[in-house]
Amino acid sequence: MQTQPAEPINIKLISIVSLGSALEVYDFMIYALMTPYISKLFFPTHELNESLMLTFATFAIGYVSRPLGGILFGHQGDRKGRKKPFTFTILLMALSTLLIGFLPTYQQIGYLAPALLMALRLIQGISMGGETGGALTYISEHFPDKIGIANASVISGMCSGLLLGYCVHSLLMIFLGYDGLMADGWRIAFWLGALLGIIGYVIRRRFQETLLFQKMLASQRISSVPLLSVLRHHKRQVICGALAIITHSTTIILLQVFLPSWLQLHHEETATSLHSTVLAAFIVLAVLVFGLLYDRSHPKTMLKAAAACHLFAGLPWYWLVINQPSLNALTLPIFSLLVGLMAATQIPIVSELFPTRVRYTGIALSYNLGFIAGGVTPLLSTWLIDISGKTWMPGILLTLGGLASIAVLTLYSQSSTQGQASTNMTATE
Instruction: Print the SS3 string covering the chain.
Output: CCCCCCHHHHHHHHHHHHHHHHHHHHHHHHHHHCHHHHHHHHCCCCCHHHHHHHHHHHHHHHHHCHHHHHHHHHHHHHHHCCHHHHHHHHHHHHHHHHHHHCCCCHHHHCCHHHHHHHHHHHHHHHHHHHHHHHHHHHHHHHCHHHHHHHHHHHHHHHHHHHHHHHHHHHHHHHHHHHHHHHHHHHHHHHHHHHHHHHHHHHHHCCCCCCHHHHHHHHCCCCCCCHHHHHHHHCHHHHHHHHHHHHHHHHHHHHHHHHHHHHHHHHCCHHHHHHHHHHHHHHHHHHHHHHHHHHHHCCHHHHHHHHHHHHHHHHHHHHHHHHHCHHHHHHHHHHHHHHHHHHHHHHHHHHHHCCCHHHHHHHHHHHHHHHHHHHHHHHHHHHHHHHHHCCCCHHHHHHHHHHHHHHHHHHHHHHHHHHHHHHHHHHHCC
In a domain, 1, yes or no: no
The 10s digit of each residue's pLDDT in 185-215 is 999 999 999 998 898 888 888 777 777 777 7
Tell me, yes or no, whether 207 lies in a domain.
Answer: yes
Domain-embedded: residue 131: yes
Asked, for residue 137, whether it belongs to a domain, the answer is yes
Residue 341 domain-assigned (yes or no)? yes
Residue 2 counted as domain residue:
no
Least confident of 163-177, 226-240, 337-351: 337-351
pLDDT of 57 over the 80 cut: yes
Please give the residue range of the domain that contains residue 151: 7-427
> 82 pLDDT band (50/70/90 cuts)?
confident
CATH of the domain at 394: 1.20.1250.20
pLDDT of residue 272: 60
Number of domains in the chain: 1
